[in-house]
Amino acid sequence: MTAKASGNLPPLSLHVPEPKFRPGDKVDYSHIVVPPAGAQPRPDEGCAAAETHPLCLDLVRVLDEDHRAVGPWDPKLDAETLRRMLRTMALTRAFDDRMYRGQRQGKTSFYMKCTGEEATSVAPAMALASDDMVFPSYRQQGILIARGYPIVEMVNQIYSNRADKLKGRQLPIMYSARDVSFFTISGNLATQYPQAVGWAMASAIKGDTRIAATWVGEGSTAEGDFHSAMTFAAVYNAPVIFNVVNNQWAISSFSGFAGAERTTFAARAIGYGIAGLRVDGNDPLAVYAASRWAADRARANGGPTLIEHFTYRAEGHSTSDDPGQYRSAQEREEWPLGDPIMRLKRHLIALGEWSDEQHEAMDRELVEQVKAATKEAEKNGVLGHGLHHPFHTMFEDVFEELPWHLKEQSEQAIRERRIKWPEWKES
Amino acid sequence: MIEEAAVSLADAPTRRLNMIEAINDALDIMMERDPGVVVMGEDVGYFGGVFRATAGLQKKYGKTRVFDTPISECGIIGVAVGMGAYGLRPVPEIQFADYIYPGLDQLVSEAARLRYRSAGEFTAPMTVRSPFGGGIFGGQTHSQSPEALFTHVAGIKTVVPATPHDAKGLLIAAIEDNDPVIFFEPKRIYNGPFNGYYDKPVEPWAKHADSVVPEGYYSIPLGKARIVRPGQAFTVLAYGTMVHVAAAVCAEKGVDAEIIDLRTLVPLDIETIEASVEKTGKCLIVHEATRTSGFGAELSALVQERCFYHLEVPIERVTGFDTPYPHSLEWAYFPGPVRIGEAIDRLMKA
């Protein structure tokens, strides 16, 4: 059906965003404005939120072209801390590479890498106190690694084996680790945003000193939960940090489908009247400095901060995704903000605190570390090989206590098992 | 070890309360007993709620434990999940059950699943209070009974009180429960039990035996039904407003029905239901919600599966119609005395 034009009015037209580059296209990133490092002002943590708003349209950067840390946002971390940051990011990448291969080898069903985005989880984790509660999305494995969570436990979860602390119930990488203040990850997007606000409000109600931090991808900022969370945080001045990891792609939908053609994601903060910062997400020092600024502000009852981490998803969305189908392979190569691990490595070398040889040795060591953890985890089984949690655990934790209908269903499940495998015994 | 003498509620001093007052009393008692209990929702703070259920609480417990929220049910429930994870016991109010849908994802995918998906590391002990049901000329957005949406979800308990006495005891039990609880308050009977005759004067709770509410703390366990009236002719399964309407019709018809107020839909008191239907051999299910896939369908299936050889006649199911709740034709929609009466006649004739 075609609508009839009315009088002299022009026909309305619908705008459907289209990314600049598709497979095979030559990539030209000249439209991305990369301001010089060190040029962005750093307001006091106690400033009025509005003072940060120019920074929502800017890009906080610390590492310059010569690999030096410059300007007011330089967090002035000592060499040992910088090396720890580098090692944590490199371990995260080594872990991702191994787990990706593990999925391809059939050891698990699914995996998600964070390649190129390591700084956006590792640096904030280092800037927060270890008992600040984090409400991550699904690509912040760097937080667990930064907080010293045993990687063998992460592998157990990914394999859904009998040692998996989550009893094989969750999709791989949907970790939960209360002992390192890491909230259970949901597969439903942005739900963690209002939850982080609620946790932060509770902390404030109780006169605690711990704050909350949460992460979401730029695509999920379109969810109602994101906006509810921003409203609640603004209304109650909640001690929470909102991280938006703008990695340009939500599976195959570019950031334009979340509104990026209009303004930045950091600019959402302006409308809610809270502090906002837009940061070079591939600059670990800028990410650390922004996170530290927001944490100090929240801890001093200065309220919430929204931080957009401008970065790039270097790999597919997950092991179920092939980005070659919808974007140009050149994007990754041409990305104007480089790679966070390489940038920190060069900075440390420029400081005379690191070398290529040390880096190569570290990488070899990390590969071995991850390999040892996977071997250890494999003793407890891989997905689909029988070494899962005892059968009856399927019915536990739906409620605190097992109601009659779940007892009946549990008996049925065990009966089915016995019919199929008469020799089977509950382990 | 010194054995404590059993305390009987019968010995406790009592007051006559309507349902709102009983709910307010339960909130007051739990806020007093547990500093982790916080009450929040649209208009619940200074004003005390559009139905007055939270009146006086902010003044007594302060603004950080009783506060107004933005108009965002997604935010209210999501924030409550985070508060529960912190260790508080939030009691959010959703102003009308009809408004609960923006918060559905946070209830269904988050609150209900937290314990399971984290293997017990995190829980969401919250009680979502919400006035539900029609009969107050609320039109289609202030009259719905969406309980079946929640009974269908693994990990949520659903409670519907029918009297001031039960509202207080069940609400206290719900707040103390470590699982998320949906607490639907039948708003038609906030001020008095409703017999289904909208054109006759409303009887206040003060004249009803179940408005006698013990003072102080007591709880009614979730998952235990109440036999409102024992009888032999047939079993009535109802909850909320419909307990009173069904009882009134049975009394009017002079039938010796056994009337069961389910009180909790999940977990369901299947033992009481089975024992009753096995005794009477006939079953009438009544709810106000729409018919198709309503909770009555679940009840009917359970009775058929478990009591088939005791059944003498087909199960009767009386419900609202499968339409939105109409404003001007509210009483044509409502499963009132005529619809219930017809079903009773069919049961008795068989």
CB-CB under 8 Å, A169 with B119 = yes
Tokens of B150: 């929640």
Provide DSSP, B30-66.
HHHH-TTEEEEETT-SSS--TTSTTTTHHHHH-TTTE
Of B264, B183, B166, B184, which Cα lies nearest the Cα of B222?
Answer: B264
Residue of A nearest to B69 (CA): A232
pLDDT, position B4 = 53
Block means of pLDDT (10 residues each) for chain A, 427 residues, are 76 97 97 97 98 98 98 98 98 98 96 98 98 98 98 97 95 98 97 98 98 98 98 98 98 98 98 98 98 98 98 96 96 96 98 98 98 97 86 94 96 92 80
Residues from chain B contacting residue A174 (CB–CB below 8 Å): 117
Taking all residues of chain B, what is their mean pLDDT, rounded to a whole number? 96
Show which residues of B are catalytic.
Answer: 142
Please determine, for residue B1, whether its predicted confidence score (pLDDT) is greater than 70: no
CB-CB under 8 Å, A405 with B83 = no
* Most A CBs within 10 Å, among B40, B74, B153, to test the A interface: B74
Residues from chain A contacting residue B102 (CB–CB below 8 Å): 224
Radius of gyration of chain B (CA): 20
**d(CA B250, nearest CA chain A) in Å:** 31
DSSP A182: B
pLDDT, position B3 = 52
Residues from chain A contacting residue B81 (CB–CB below 8 Å): 194-195, 198
Residues from chain B contacting residue A193 (CB–CB below 8 Å): 78
Nearest CB to A205; choose among B38, B81, B109: B38
Residues from chain A contacting residue B82 (CB–CB below 8 Å): 135, 194-202, 212
Please determine, for residue B221, whether its predicted confidence score (pLDDT) is greater than 90: yes
pLDDT tens-place string over residues B70-118: 999 999 999 999 999 999 999 999 999 999 999 999 999 999 999 999 9
User: Any idea where the domains of chain A sit in the sequence?
Assistant: 49-378, 391-420
Please determine, for residue B10, whether its predicted confidence score (pLDDT) is greater than 80: no
Count of other CB atoms within 10 angstroms of residue B292? 11
User: CA-CA distance, B150 to B147, in Å (whole number)?
Assistant: 5
A49-378 CATH pick, 3.30.70.980, 3.40.50.970, 3.30.2320.80, 3.20.20.80:
3.40.50.970
Residues from chain B contacting residue A400 (CB–CB below 8 Å): 115, 123, 177-179
Residue of A nearest to B223 (CA): A403
Nearest CB to B79; choose among A166, A232, A404: A232
B13-189 CATH pick, 3.90.79.10, 3.80.10.10, 3.40.50.970, 3.40.630.90:
3.40.50.970
Helix (H) or strand (E) segment spanning residue A116: none
CB-CB under 8 Å, B82 with A201 = yes
Count of other CB atoms within 10 angstroms of residue B180? 30
Q: What percent of chain B has pLDDT over 90?
A: 95
User: CA-CA distance, A271 to A38, in Å (whole number)?
Assistant: 27
CA quadruple A40, A44, A45, A46: dihedral positive or negative? negative
User: CA-CA distance, B30 to A91, in Å (whole number)?
Assistant: 48
User: CA-CA distance, A103 to A100, in Å (whole number)?
Assistant: 5
Tokens of A402: 């097992």
DSSP B213: E
Tokens of A370: 């991850």
User: Any idea where the domains of chain B sit in the sequence?
Assistant: 13-189, 223-349
A328: which residues sit within 8 A by CB, 6+ positions away? A21, A22, A23, A24, A25, A26, A27
pLDDT tens-place string over residues B155-208: 999 999 999 999 999 999 999 999 999 999 999 999 999 999 998 888 999 999
Taking the complete model, does pTM exceed 0.95, yes or no?
Answer: yes
Amino acid B13 reads: P
CB-CB under 8 Å, A195 with B78 = yes
| Interval B284-309 mean pLDDT | 98
pLDDT tens-place string over residues B310-332: 999 999 999 999 999 999 999 99
ipTM of the complex: 0.96
Residues from chain B contacting residue A301 (CB–CB below 8 Å): none
**d(CA B68, nearest CA chain A) in Å:** 10
Q: A-B interface: how many C-beta pairs under 8 angstroms?
A: 147
Residue of B nearest to A176 (CA): B118
pLDDT, position A391 = 83
CB-CB under 8 Å, A202 with B86 = yes
Fold held by B223-349 = Rossmann fold (3.40.50)
**Beta partners for residue B182, in sequence order:** B128, B158
**d(CA B69, nearest CA chain A) in Å:** 8
CB-CB under 8 Å, A197 with B79 = yes
Residue of B nearest to A226 (CA): B75
Residue of A nearest to B64 (CA): A205
Nearest CB to A202; choose among B69, B82, B115: B82
Tell me the CB-side half-sphere exposure of residue B341, using CA atoms within 13 A: 12
* Most B CBs within 10 Å, among A183, A195, A199, to test the B interface: A195
Q: Looking at A292, A317, A343, A389, which residue is catalytic? A: A317
Query: How far from the centroid of its chain's Cα atoms is residue A320's Cα?
Result: 18
Q: Collect all residues from A whose CB is shorter than 8 A from any CB in B.
A: 133, 135, 165-167, 169-170, 174, 176-178, 183-184, 186, 188, 191, 193-206, 212, 224-225, 228-229, 231-232, 235, 397-400, 403-405
